[in-house]
Amino acid sequence: MILEVTSKVLPILLLFLVGAFFRKSNFINESTISELKKVIVNFSLPSLLFLSFSNTNFEIKYLSIILGMFIICIGLLYIGKFLKTILKIKYDYFPLLFTGFEAGMLGYSLFSITFGL
């Protein structure tokens, strides 16, 4: 059990350490990171999402989950608008931060590392 958990978590921790090393040592400069982000956001992530959804079997029983998440996101949007007013935040996109769940840039990659494609 411990060996199984370690084999899943250790690669993720090593990737974080490699990333921290790259940041501290300036092994990769900032412009390269910006270009890599463009490739990930504009090519790799859409490709991964397409492959994931093309292999998914959608069933009617999933409709409750989809509607539930939609209602939760709408509720979080209004909570963000309420907090923006209460806290007097001038940033227009602040309420939208409450509706985003990090899956793309970090979530899918960590999931793939841990459980495979």
The tens digit of pLDDT for each residue in 77-106 reads: 999 999 999 999 998 888 988 887 766 666
Q: What's the chain's length in residues?
A: 117
Domain boundary among 56, 73, 91: 56
Q: Same domain, yes or no, for 23 and 46?
A: yes
Q: Same domain, yes or no, for 52 and 86?
A: no
Give 10's contacts (C-beta < 8 A, 6+ positions apart).
none
Q: Report the predicted TM-score, pTM, of the whole model to 2 decimal places.
A: 0.52
Q: Same domain, yes or no, for 80 and 48?
A: no
Q: Same domain, yes or no, for 46 and 78?
A: no
Q: Same domain, yes or no, for 1 and 46?
A: yes
- Do residues 22 and 28 make contact, with C-beta atoms less than 8 angstroms apart? yes
Domain boundary among 56, 75, 92: 56
- Do residues 113 and 12 make contact, with C-beta atoms less than 8 angstroms apart? yes
Domain boundary among 31, 56, 81: 56
The residue with tokens 């790799």 is 44
| Residue 73: CB atoms within 10 Å | 13
Most confident among 12-16, 48-52, 108-112 (mean pLDDT): 12-16
Amino acid making up residue 2:
I
Query: By residue range, what is the domain housing residue 44?
Result: 1-56
